[in-house]
């Protein structure tokens, strides 16, 4: 079962090879969009005829590849790149703080995180139940411009951890460096079916191997792709957007992507732990398997059953002071996608 991804070997080689490997890796590894899967035949494959449970498939072989997962208290370090309103920061902070808030009314964000906690490392230690927000960094003046590449994303993180005033702490073991870009910032491949990704920084660039994720605010660039179903793609006639729970289409759309990326990063921080697929260059991770599924019956182009609040907003879970719409994740015990709002 134990498979040594070429990545490991590559890491020991020269920086040149290292960069080469990096470019090979930057494709499908980490991209994601909330719009239901339109990959050729993916729908048939995962959600075909005799579907009993969301995303269930005897063909999905999620495997553990012996690498580390985040088992100690997780600290998320937000890096706010560009212009962010206080109200927007608050929505995102409260979402992340909701992961370990067991007091929220069910269906809750902490109920959703429970599925992620089912994953373990070699010693049998589970993903941590505790997720909290640590130090934050503002990068208001676009230190690396308004158009970032996958490499310059690493440089932004480097700036945050090496800043002369209040640098972010170095926490390779349980830190999640979360780069959030405002709606006027383009990141390589953004909107082209990519709404966020996670990876780890390279010592050659940042000085450390730090797990990080990027999620962008798509409100101006492509809400129909990355803030679906709060906005819909123009090319699909007759499809209607639903009302977002926190009155901010861009940020409400980011919430599910942030959940997706933190769930995957926690179970596969160095891309050598939990993923499906034969090819470690294109791992399919625990949230990729449930792309676009928010409730019972979800799959294909249907989101599944969601909930409606009194003000008409659509959501599927409760958190601290708010409601959120977050996609489900793959449950390794039952081998299908599960979420706290599942109907019996």
Ligand X SMILES: *[C@@H]1O[C@H](CO)[C@@H](O)[C@H](O)[C@H]1NC(C)=O
Residues that bind ligand X (CB under 6 A): 40-41, 73, 117-118, 120, 126, 130, 332-333
Q: Indicate the residue among 48 and 297 with the shorter CB distance to ligand X.
A: 48
Q: How far is the CB of 97 from ligand X (least distance, A)?
A: 11
Three-state secondary structure readout of 100-163: CCCCCCCCEHHHHHHHHCCCECCCCCECCCCEEECCCEEECCCCCCCEECHHHHHHHHHHHHHC
Cβ neighbours of residue 310 closer than 8 Å, sequence gap 6 or more = none
Helix (H) or strand (E) holding 11: helix 6-12
Q: Indicate the residue among 4 and 73 with the shorter CB distance to ligand X.
A: 73
Q: Indicate the residue among 14 and 41 with the shorter CB distance to ligand X.
A: 41
Q: How far is the CB of 109 from ligand X (least distance, A)?
A: 15
What CA–CA distance (Å, rounded) separates 39 from 43?
7
Q: Indicate the residue among 82 and 299 with the shorter CB distance to ligand X.
A: 299
Q: Indicate the residue among 6 and 332 with the shorter CB distance to ligand X.
A: 332
Q: Indicate the residue among 252 and 285 with the shorter CB distance to ligand X.
A: 285
What CA–CA distance (Å, rounded) separates 165 from 70?
28
Q: Indicate the residue among 25 and 64 with the shorter CB distance to ligand X.
A: 64
Q: How far is the CB of 124 from ligand X (least distance, A)?
A: 7
Q: How far is the CB of 337 from ligand X (least distance, A)?
A: 16
Chain residue whose CB lies nearest ligand X: 40
Q: How far is the CB of 114 from ligand X (least distance, A)?
A: 6
What CA–CA distance (Å, rounded) separates 177 from 195?
17
Cβ neighbours of residue 181 closer than 8 Å, sequence gap 6 or more = 81, 82, 148, 187, 214, 215, 216, 217
Q: How far is the CB of 334 from ligand X (least distance, A)?
A: 11
Q: Quick check: helix, strand or coil at residue 191?
A: coil
Cβ neighbours of residue 17 closer than 8 Å, sequence gap 6 or more = 10
Can you read off the two tokens belonging to residue 183? 């709606």
Q: How far is the CB of 252 from ligand X (least distance, A)?
A: 27
Q: Indicate the residue among 111 and 292 with the shorter CB distance to ligand X.
A: 111
Q: How far is the CB of 204 from ligand X (least distance, A)?
A: 31
Q: Quick check: helix, strand or coil at residue 212?
A: strand
What CA–CA distance (Å, rounded) separates 155 from 140?
15
């Amino acid at each position: 079962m134990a498979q040594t991804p070429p990545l490991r070997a590559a890491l020991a080689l020269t920086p040149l090879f290292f960069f080469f490997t990096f470019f090979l890796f930057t494709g499908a590894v980490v991209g994601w969009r909330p719009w239901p899967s339109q990959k050729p035949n993916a729908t048939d494959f995962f959600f075909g005829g005799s579907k009993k449970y969301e995303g269930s498939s005897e063909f999905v072989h999620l495997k553990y590849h012996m690498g580390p997962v985040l088992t100690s208290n997780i600290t998320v370090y937000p890096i706010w790149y560009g212009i962010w309103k206080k109200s927007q920061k608050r929505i995102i902070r409260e979402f992340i703080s909701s992961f370990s808030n067991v007091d929220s009314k069910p269906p809750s964000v902490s109920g959703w995180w429970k599925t992620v906690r089912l994953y373990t490392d070699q010693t049998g230690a589970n993903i941590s139940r505790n997720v909290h927000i640590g130090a934050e960094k503002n990068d208001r003046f676009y230190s690396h411009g308004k158009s970032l590449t996958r490499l310059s994303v690493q440089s932004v993180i480097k700036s945050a951890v090496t800043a002369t005033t209040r640098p972010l702490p170095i926490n390779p073991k349980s830190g999640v460096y979360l780069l959030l870009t405002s709606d006027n910032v383009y990141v390589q491949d953004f909107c082209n079916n990519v709404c966020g990704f996670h990876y780890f920084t390279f010592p050659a660039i940042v000085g450390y191997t730090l797990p990080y994720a990027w999620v962008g605010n798509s409100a101006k660039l492509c809400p129909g792709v990355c803030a679906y179903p709060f906005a819909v793609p123009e090319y699909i006639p007759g499809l209607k957007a639903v009302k977002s729970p926190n009155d901010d289409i861009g940020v409400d759309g980011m919430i599910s992507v942030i959940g997706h990326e933190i769930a995957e990063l926690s179970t596969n921080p160095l891309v050598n732990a939990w993923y499906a697929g034969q090819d470690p260059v294109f791992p399919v991770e625990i949230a990729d398997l449930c792309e676009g599924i928010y409730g019972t019956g979800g799959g294909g182009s249907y989101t599944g059953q969601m909930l409606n609040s009194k003000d008409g907003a659509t959501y599927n879970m409760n958190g601290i002071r708010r409601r959120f719409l977050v996609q489900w994740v793959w449950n390794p015990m039952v081998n299908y996608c599960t979420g706290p709002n599942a109907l019996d």
